[in-house]
A and B are shown apart, each in its own frame.
Chain A
Amino acid sequence: MGLSDSTAIAGTVPESRRSLAARLRVIFMRSESLRGYALLSPTLIVMLLGMCLPFALMVAMSFWTQRGFDIDISFSLTNYGSAISSPIYEALLMRSLAISGTCAIVTVLLSYPMAYYVAFHVHRRKMLWIILMTLPFWTSYLLRIFAWKIVLGWNGVINSGLKSLGIIDQPLEFLLYSPTAVVITLVHAWAAFAILPIYVSLEKIDRSLLEAAADLGDGPVQRFLRVTLPLSLPGVIAAMLLIFVPTVGDYVTPALVGGPDGIMIANMIQAQFGKVNNWPMGATLAIVMMIVLTIIAVVYIWLTRKLAEWIS
């Protein structure tokens, strides 16, 4: 559409007599890409400015240094030096990666059967199930963490419940303020990010492939391992990444349920912008975290591609 108008213009007016503006207009009307970009431009400009400017400045700041209450804006690698040399940052980063990695794996393992059930065994009211599975995700993040604090707390639902039933005398202390509590809370919070991609990839599987496998003599287990699982891997792979990356940067969950052993790298970053008041160091840590995450993501995607090639 629209294309017909522009060819009409081009056909009636000789090339030489058209003004520059008209010629630009024709170019514009003829090029679908240009018109697309024109329509896209408000969104693209806002998003580019909103992300690029802050990132550029954050990179710049990571090379500055904090001196008392002032910031020295001469170029220096001091922050990166201390980020790499001090063991506390490395320990926190490794712990964050471990917690988020565990969380991503556990969430995917728990969500796969659920997504499988809805994709293959629910026939009526499928939409209701999908909404039910994703609804908690849309409710307040803070309240969900708070809910787990109530459940796991020293005097919380599990402990006080078990105590009033007479099963335990002393509250179980390992429940709250531990890395385990962080993992449980995060698995609960990010479940939708595993269910949806896995569900979509399972739903897309051509059912006739399963019939073909059955006709060729595969049993249910073989059919799952040779047809369903490989074809649903894209969803699984996407889910792992979608959960892993943002959870590394979470500081609210560790702050509320992690305790001293559950503190993560993002808590350190937040502290630099808060009570420690060393913004350049905070910027450096944020960038180091981004770089590590990007490397992990790239290696992960590369590995999974290789794996996919190797399978097929």
Chain B
Amino acid sequence: MSDVGYIRRHNRPLYFFALFYLAFLYIPVLFLPLFSFNDAIYVAFPIKGFTTAWYEQMLTNEPMHAALVNSLKVGAASSAIATMLGIFGAKAVTKYRIKGEKPVVSVIMLPLVIPGIILGVALLILLSRIGVTLSLYTVTLGHILICVPFSMATLMARFEGFDKSMEEASADLGDNVWWTFWRVTLPLVAPGVIASLLLCFTISFDEFIMAFFLAGTEPTLPIFIYGQLRFPQKLPSVLALGACILVVSFVVVFVSQWLQRRDDPAAQGLGN
């Protein structure tokens, strides 16, 4: 053993840097829940006192509820469709050796590197020229486009991991393609599918840039929030809502990431 022990050793400056970095990532975000309990219209120190008034206000805010329901609908639809498309795509790429696979996959992954405003504006032009009225459906369409790359990347990692012989065994035992998929493939990749659904839902639920262009008269939640930011007296109830969204999305994403990385995909299908 040569002297690369320095890697194993605890590195104090780096450790403190890492803590500082995590603080930079988390502290600004944590001010939302902190001030959501503050008994003052203005978001400023010193803290005035504890109140749950903003949360009560939030519970009776009808337009906010409508926007929440809209976002849930769009998120459910776009995550389901994007994950389905992601399953087809990831399965095709991992199961078969396809000529020209690299460029094709890059095309599907393009929305990851195209600025959202470009995609949103281009879709807006198309929809208005062919005379489609903007609605939650058009927002869903836009969200599917940006969710598919995430879904496919998540699922590819999962599909690559499992043992092909399980599928072959099922096929040899007389199951057709669909039965094999339903009884063998799906249970093996279920954690990946759930992770993809959750991630796509989170992306859609938070997406603002495209929804801003593609939403009609029914706002999604981010659009509603953006509208509220202009009115200082409405900020506290946005804080309360933001705190709730933060808690829910932290939990959802934590679960999905956990599912995705819990076990090394390479170990899947071997042990049991």
Q: Which residues of A line the B interface, CB within 8 A?
A: 1-2, 32-33, 35-44, 46-48, 50-51, 53-55, 57-58, 61, 110-111, 113-114, 116-118, 120-121, 123, 127, 130-136, 138-144, 146-148, 150-151, 153, 155-157, 159-161, 163-164, 188, 191, 207, 210-211, 214-215, 220, 223, 241-242, 245-246, 248-252, 256, 266, 269-270, 273, 279, 282-283, 286, 289-290, 293
A43-B85, A143-B245, A147-B28 known; A110 vs B21 contact (CB < 8 Å) = yes
- Set of chain A residues within 8 Å of B125, measured between Cβ atoms: 54, 57-58, 61, 279, 283
A117-B15, A140-B249 known; A266 vs B117 contact (CB < 8 Å) = yes
Cβ contact within 8 Å between B44 and A133: no
A123 and B42 CA atoms in complex are apart in Å by 44
A149 and B103 CA atoms in complex are apart in Å by 41
Cβ contact within 8 Å between A245 and B25: no
Q: Which of A35, A133, A242, A286 has most B Cβ within 10 Å?
A: A286
A-B CB contacts (within 8 Å), total count = 270
Q: Which residue of A lies closest to B29 (CB)?
A: A147
Q: Which of A39, A55, A61 contacts B91 (CB 8 A)?
A: A39
Cβ contact within 8 Å between A57 and B126: yes
Q: Which of B107, B122, B250 contacts A44 (CB 8 A)?
A: B107
Q: Which residue of A lies closest to B25 (CB)?
A: A136
A114-B17, A132-B22, A146-B242 known; A35 vs B117 contact (CB < 8 Å) = no
- Set of chain A residues within 8 Å of B139, measured between Cβ atoms: none
A248 and B116 CA atoms in complex are apart in Å by 10
A40-B89, A139-B29, A147-B32 known; A58 vs B122 contact (CB < 8 Å) = yes
A220 and B93 CA atoms in complex are apart in Å by 41
- A122: shortest Cβ distance to chain B, in Å? 9
Q: Which of B14, B108, B229 contacts A146 (CB 8 A)?
A: B229
Cβ contact within 8 Å between A214 and B4: yes
- B118: shortest Cβ distance to chain A, in Å? 5
- Set of chain B residues within 8 Å of A118, measured between Cβ atoms: 18
- A127: shortest Cβ distance to chain B, in Å? 5
Q: Which of B7, B35, B114, B258 contacts A150 (CB 8 A)?
A: B35
- A35: shortest Cβ distance to chain B, in Å? 6
Cβ contact within 8 Å between B209 and A150: no
- The answer to whether the Cβ of B148 comes within 8 Å of any Cβ in the partner chain is yes
Cβ contact within 8 Å between A143 and B29: yes
- B30: shortest Cβ distance to chain A, in Å? 8
| Among listed B49-57, B94-102, B183-191, interface-contacting one | B94-102
Cβ contact within 8 Å between B116 and A246: yes
Cβ contact within 8 Å between B222 and A251: no
Q: Is the interface of A mostly helix, strand, loop or mixed?
A: helix
- The answer to whether the Cβ of B37 comes within 8 Å of any Cβ in the partner chain is no
Tally of B interface residues using CB under 8 Å: 96
A118 and B93 CA atoms in complex are apart in Å by 31
Cβ contact within 8 Å between B249 and A43: no
Cβ contact within 8 Å between B14 and A117: yes
A37-B92, A273-B121 known; A142 vs B225 contact (CB < 8 Å) = yes
Cβ contact within 8 Å between A141 and B206: yes
Q: Which of A44, A57, A144 contacts B89 (CB 8 A)?
A: A44
- B71: shortest Cβ distance to chain A, in Å? 11
A270 and B116 CA atoms in complex are apart in Å by 11
A143-B246, A266-B117 known; A43 vs B206 contact (CB < 8 Å) = no
- The answer to whether the Cβ of B68 comes within 8 Å of any Cβ in the partner chain is no
- The answer to whether the Cβ of B62 comes within 8 Å of any Cβ in the partner chain is no
Q: Which of A43, A111, A156 has most B Cβ within 10 Å?
A: A43
A150 and B243 CA atoms in complex are apart in Å by 14
**What are 21 A-B pairs with beta-carbon distances under 8 A?**
A1-B167, A1-B171, A36-B96, A39-B91, A46-B145, A51-B119, A54-B126, A57-B126, A111-B21, A123-B8, A142-B208, A143-B242, A157-B44, A214-B3, A241-B113, A246-B113, A250-B116, A251-B209, A256-B229, A270-B117, A282-B121
- Set of chain B residues within 8 Å of A121, measured between Cβ atoms: 7, 10-11, 14-15
A144 and B26 CA atoms in complex are apart in Å by 10
Cβ contact within 8 Å between B118 and A289: yes
- Using a CB-CB cutoff of 8 Å, which residues 1-50 of chain B contact chain A? 2-4, 6-8, 10-11, 14-15, 17-18, 21-22, 24-26, 28-29, 31-32, 35, 42-46
